[in-house]
Amino acid sequence: MANVISISHFTLLALPYLLVLLSSTAAAINVTAVLSSFPNLSSFSNLLVSSGIAAELSGRNSLTLLAVPNSQFSSATLDLTRRLPPSALADLLRFHVLLQFLSDSDLRRLPPSGSAVTTLYEASGRTFFGSGSVNVTRDPASGSVTIGSPATKNVTVLKLLETKPPNITVLTVDSLIVPTGIDITASETLTPPPTSTSLSPPPAGINLTQILINGHNFNVALSLLVASGVITEFENDERGAGITVFVPTDSAFSDLPSNVNLQSLPAAQKAFVLKFHVLHSYYTLGSLESITNPVQPTLATEEMGAGSYTLNISRVNGSIVTINSGVVLAVVTQTAFDQNPVSVFGVSKVLLPKELFPKSGQPVATAPPHEISLSPESSDEQPSRLVSPPREIVSSGAVKTTLGFLALWCWCIAFCYVLV
């Protein structure tokens, strides 16, 4: 007697959702596995493992790795890596991790002035000379790409060795990126860097005030947070699921419409606006790029009720994270801090909740005034953050993905009925 397979209507409905959930989960990066295919990177790979950086990267899903081939390791450099304290070696290697996926086309379209990209070291909250980012530049004549900053010595990209969109790109460089203050030529004893630039272990606890001070362009936001007292609440909310803070830059406050005066708001409403910029969960930049539920509650939602004071987070044009408040559309311009359970991102607009600032029509979708897209014709003098203005709210890739899931769902339904 043939077995009869009984499939409930609940199973039919739940199956496609399960498939979507499984397929949308972003794979974490295994740097060791990626580098194992390249024997000429064994020394660099061993440094990542011994320093703990490889394990630190296992929770991320979008980055560019600057790897040094064995042939580029001088005896002095190898000796340096052996004599550095573990915490200092880890910080040195964090300069070799860019928290952004850079494809070959991204590198070819770099503006002449270069683009600033956040490193894992900057995301740790301990900055060198006020900046832990690096500037990536391309010589339009020769096509050569160099990477460096005032806090480091410049290196030259030798080759794009591996790229796995949208997770990881491996670029080989001609030497280690050595922060100023570390002397790789010292043969006997390592000269300690000055106190102001010391590669010290991370401080106990998270000090949001200091993070924003280190960011240099969050002065207005910091003054509002301190004056209102909510910054203490944010620091207390680090526990549990953590927090993600979107901090408008100083230029974002300058771009506020003339009829919006945050200082004139009652204290309670001003607090709601500030809490509207915080998610009660920890997200890395890569997590935001691949977020499955775009509508996210904020700390203000917890006080005002479900469905209110929510942010709509999406990705457009490849890897640009946009935040729609219902009134304005902002983009994430930089990573100011990223260390579980707290991440802090700079955003191009002050996020105005529609509950307090009702506005007819669609949200304003203007690009940040000082950001530079990855286009060859750009010729601004100052380095830009490697972002481009959003051109659409829903990417074509997202539409294709949705249609694919719908087709898969229909197939599953038909298959299940055949079984019945």
| pLDDT category of residue 127 using cuts at 50, 70 and 90 | low
Contact present, 309 and 298 (Cβ < 8 Å): yes
User: Token pair of 185, please?
Assistant: 């030529």
* Nearest residue to 321 (alpha-carbon basis) of 105, 124, 166, 125: 166
Q: Give 255-288 pLDDT, tens digit per residue.
A: 998 888 888 888 889 999 999 999 988 888 888 8
- For 52, residues 6+ apart whose C-beta sits below 8 A from its C-beta are 86, 90
User: 3-class SS at 412?
Assistant: helix
Per-residue pLDDT averaged across 59-84, rounded?
Answer: 82
Contact present, 163 and 69 (Cβ < 8 Å): no
Locus of tokens 């390249």: 38
pLDDT of 412 reads: 59
pLDDT at 384 > cutoff 50: no
pLDDT at 21 > cutoff 60: no
User: 3-class SS at 372?
Assistant: strand
pTM above 0.95, yes or no: no
Give, as one character, the DSSP assignment of residue 28.
P
How many Å apart are CA 121 and CA 126, to the nearest integer? 7
* Nearest residue to 34 (alpha-carbon basis) of 81, 95, 97: 97
Q: Give 207-233 pLDDT, tens digit per residue.
A: 888 888 887 889 899 888 888 888 877
- For 120, residues 6+ apart whose C-beta sits below 8 A from its C-beta are 53, 56, 57, 63, 94, 95, 97, 98, 99
Contact present, 350 and 274 (Cβ < 8 Å): no
Q: Could you write out the three-class secondary structure of 176-235?
A: CCCECCCCCCCCCCCCCCCHHHCCCCCCCCCCHHHHHHHHCCCHHHHHHHHHHCHHHHHH
Structural domains in the chain, CATH included, are 31-173 (2.30.180.10), 208-347 (2.30.180.10)
| pLDDT category of residue 116 using cuts at 50, 70 and 90 | confident
User: 3-class SS at 241?
Assistant: coil
Range 295-304 contact pairs with CB under 8 angstroms and sequence separation of 24 or more: 299/233, 299/234, 299/237, 299/243, 299/275, 300/272, 300/273, 300/275, 300/276, 300/353, 303/272, 303/275, 304/272, 304/355
| pLDDT category of residue 198 using cuts at 50, 70 and 90 | very low
pLDDT of 353 reads: 93
* Nearest residue to 117 (alpha-carbon basis) of 85, 88, 153, 146: 146
